Structure 1
Amino acid sequence: MFTRQAEEEEGEEEAQLRTLRETTATRTYPVYPSQLLSLMATIVMERIGRVFISLQQIRQVPRMLTEAAPSMPGTVGDAEVPYYFRERYVCTGYRPLNQTWRYYFLSLFQWHNETVNIWSHLLACFVFLVKLRQLSETVDFADDPHSWPLLVLILSSLTYSAFSVVAHLLGGRSELCHCFFFFLDYVGVAQYQYGSAVVHFYYAVDESLHRHVQGVFMPVAAALSCLSCLGCCYGKYFNHNSPSWVRKVCQVVPSALAYIWDSSPVAQRLLSWSSNDPALSYHFGQVAFFLSCSFFFTFPLLERCFPGQCDFLGQSHQLFHVFLSCCTLCQIYAAHIDYVCRRKLYSRLHKSGEAALFVGLYVVTVVACALIAAFVLRKVRQVLHFKAKSK
């Protein structure tokens, strides 16, 4: 409607201007300045009037959107959601359960206690996509097998951030949805752990360490990724009838073991610090960011110190998201620098076809983690079915 009206008004204005030009061009008698100014003033006043009408129409847009969209329920306190959904020291800002899917999708633009968690990884996902596009201009991902570990890292980074967005956006609908989407999130985290391991072993490893772990490093990394996924899923499963610290232990211990193993090539590089190594500053950054996000994931420090003040903004888990995204970005930069600067070393250390083998192992790891999540989800279904029958 607005477009058609604007086109008609533009046509009238063009006709008036054309008339003005034809009049001044074809008249054989004098044109008085007062007449010309009068006609121009009329056109200007009509244009100002149309601008005012357009502003009036724009002001009506929010009201039209409000009338077209369903009303959004407000957030609720922790007493109005099951224990399973509560976070320690977070008292308000929870979305009500059992709403329509439309509500949870639209809650992307609502202010609640998951908003920062959603948008932090949504923006990170966009940054990783931009970085992939930039690298694709200089790195031959199609024909250079040595670039495939770098591609695995970026794809795994995109996957974990996207899965995290989905989990925090849709996981509040019901207990079953909560488990399903967060199990998906844990699969994303586990395959990202493998992506970290493959770039560290392929690009960052030194020759001395490579001799000792060759042939076992990546299989152990894949097994630890699966163990991490299992621990996270069982931690969420045990949350039905166990204290919250049990969940943290199940999630933190396997992930810590995986990180120690996956980052061992980087640790050796950092211990033998050299100013001639351009990637070391990024490796140091990723380690510092990871230790920071691990601390805030394990200890809800801010919520404990300021109970009720960090329900919407300032939660430790929100800082965990931000630091993890920074860690991943530093990791991508470091892997790219190692890919460019250490090519002579890693092309000699890794046999022909080894990159393809690691990509295949990545696919196997993703499938194994998905099966683990499906197995634990089945046990969750049984628990929920038993609870429903006992009511």
Structure 2
Amino acid sequence: MATIVMEKIGRLFITLQQLRQAPRLLSGAAPSMPGTLRDSEVPRFFRERHIHSGYRPLHQPWRYYLLSLFRRHNETLNVWTHLLGALLVLVLTGRLAETVDFAGDPHAWPLLVLLLSSLAYMSLSATAHLLAGRSEFCHFAFFFLDYVGVAQYQYGSAAAHFYYAAEEDWLRRVGPVFMPAAALLCCLSCLGCCYGKYRNHSLPPWVRKVGQVVPSSLAYAWDTSPVFHRALTRAWWADPALTFHLGQVGFFLSSAFFFTQPLPERCLPGRCDFVGQGHQLFHALLVLCTLCQIHASHLDYASRRPLYARLHGDGEARFVLGLYVATAIACALIAGFMAGRVRRLLERRDRSK
């Protein structure tokens, strides 16, 4: 009996020793992280207008930036707005898959393209805001990937609108050229955004904005033209899907306003460093736009099948899917090319020091 008691006491002592070491083990696994910095403590390239604090230090281990997902800094909400949006789209995709045959029904592929492109742009945006602060090259490279995601979403929007939302008379006039033109505009949008970022500090801010906003605006106007045509020719109040289509237009235009205007931080400099930035509002409104768009496209998929099945053959659905893959590859090549230019530029600059 004494032996058994001594063994239990020994096990208890070992357990207590392990518990005493737990804080040390946890601190080794997740070491204390450097605090955030003021704008005057980081290179000018990383400073955002009217944001005075909350900057993460550069050149830290990757683990630092990954763990900063759960820390307070001026990019925290920019990450979480699109990360939560991506999770919502992922859950929504799983629910739709219970009733939509994405694998066996070619007519469902444009809806799948919209879902995949929505998931891509939100995930790449969250990744860019989380990791781009590590170095100047990382800043360029991750935001170039972000622009690839934006271009994919533009194509996904065009595909869903073209396939499900368009009216027959519109398709007769524009249908043959719509998707190739949409793919071209996506690539131009990606190129314009990447080049604007590349020339970030060698051009006036308004010139950079024009280079980024104009191609994206042209792409949006083209991609949404089936919705505008339908709204002008049908009673939107009698069409539930069209109501959500108009909702996504409203959310998108609102988000575009906050993308181009640094509000409210311009009116409250230094007070929106963590919450209240215009870019955070841009993210949130764009997520609402996407959710409205997915819901509207699903309603069209379910209710307008006799129309689009007659207007679009199986071959056209395959073309839309194949062009999506080709457009994504083209945009990735554009981003890779621009990242190569950035790397060479930074190497020349470092050698000249």
TM over 0.5: yes
Q: CA deviation at 1:79?
A: 1.5
Contact residue 238 and residue 246 of structure 1 kept, 8 A? no
RMSD of aligned residue pairs (Cα, Å)? 2.0
2:187 alignment partner AA: C
**Alpha-carbon separation, structure 2, partners of 1:165 and 1:365:** 22
- Residues 344 and 58 (structure 1 numbering): CA distance in 2 closer, same or farther, change over 3 Å? farther
- Residues 59 and 288 (structure 1 numbering): CA distance in 2 closer, same or farther, change over 3 Å? farther
**Alpha-carbon separation, structure 2, partners of 1:84 and 1:164:** 19
Q: Could you tell me which residue of structure 1 aligns to residue 88 of structure 2? A: 127
1:240 to 184, 201, 205: 201
Q: Deviations over 1:108-165 (max 9, x none)?
A: 1110000001011111111001100100000011111000000000001111111111
Matches within 5 A, 1:1-391: 65-66=26-27, 68-271=29-232, 272-391=234-353
Q: CA deviation at 1:58?
A: 10
Q: Which runs of 5+ in 1 are unaligned?
A: 1-7, 9-53
Q: CA deviation at 1:383?
A: 1.4
Q: Deviations over 1:219-241 (max 9, x none)?
A: 00000000000000001000132
- Residues 59 and 278 (structure 1 numbering): CA distance in 2 closer, same or farther, change over 3 Å? farther
Q: CA deviation at 1:377?
A: 1.1
**Alpha-carbon separation, structure 1, partners of 2:352 and 2:41:** 21
Q: Could you tell me which residue of structure 1 aligns to residue 4 of structure 2? A: none
- Residues 78 and 136 (structure 1 numbering): CA distance in 2 closer, same or farther, change over 3 Å? same
**Alpha-carbon separation, structure 1, partners of 2:165 and 2:288:** 19
Contact residue 140 and residue 147 of structure 1 kept, 8 A? yes
Contact residue 92 and residue 311 of structure 1 kept, 8 A? yes
Q: CA deviation at 1:69?
A: 1.9
Contact residue 234 and residue 376 of structure 1 kept, 8 A? yes
Contact residue 251 and residue 289 of structure 2 kept, 8 A? yes
* Larger deviation, residues 271-280 vs 252-261: 271-280
**Alpha-carbon separation, structure 1, partners of 2:20 and 2:265:** 40
2:341 alignment partner AA: K
TM-score scaled to structure 1, two decimals? 0.83
2:249 alignment partner AA: V
- Residues 345 and 62 (structure 1 numbering): CA distance in 2 closer, same or farther, change over 3 Å? farther
**Alpha-carbon separation, structure 2, partners of 1:150 and 1:61:** 49
2:242 alignment partner AA: L
2:56 alignment partner AA: R
Contact residue 132 and residue 154 of structure 1 kept, 8 A? yes
Q: Deviations over 1:158-203 (max 9, x none)?
A: 1111111110111000011111111011000001100000000000
**Alpha-carbon separation, structure 2, partners of 1:243 and 1:83:** 15
Contact residue 105 and residue 170 of structure 1 kept, 8 A? yes
* Larger deviation, residues 213-222 vs 65-74: 65-74
2:74 alignment partner AA: N
TM-score scaled to structure 2, two decimals? 0.92
**Alpha-carbon separation, structure 2, partners of 1:222 and 1:287:** 20
Contact residue 264 and residue 277 of structure 2 kept, 8 A? yes
Q: CA deviation at 1:302?
A: 0.6
What SS does the corresponding residue of 1:139 show, helix, strand or coil? coil
**Alpha-carbon separation, structure 1, partners of 2:32 and 2:203:** 37
Contact residue 120 and residue 322 of structure 1 kept, 8 A? yes
Contact residue 39 and residue 47 of structure 2 kept, 8 A? yes
2:141 alignment partner AA: F
1:137 alignment partner AA: E
What SS does the corresponding residue of 1:151 show, helix, strand or coil? helix
CA radius of gyration, larger in: 1
Contact residue 237 and residue 243 of structure 2 kept, 8 A? no
Structure 1 segments, 4+ long, off by >4 Å, are 57-64
**Alpha-carbon separation, structure 2, partners of 1:302 and 1:59:** 48
Contact residue 118 and residue 169 of structure 1 kept, 8 A? yes
2:351 alignment partner AA: K
Q: Deviations over 1:64-113 (max 9, x none)?
A: 63464211001111112222211111111110101111101111111000
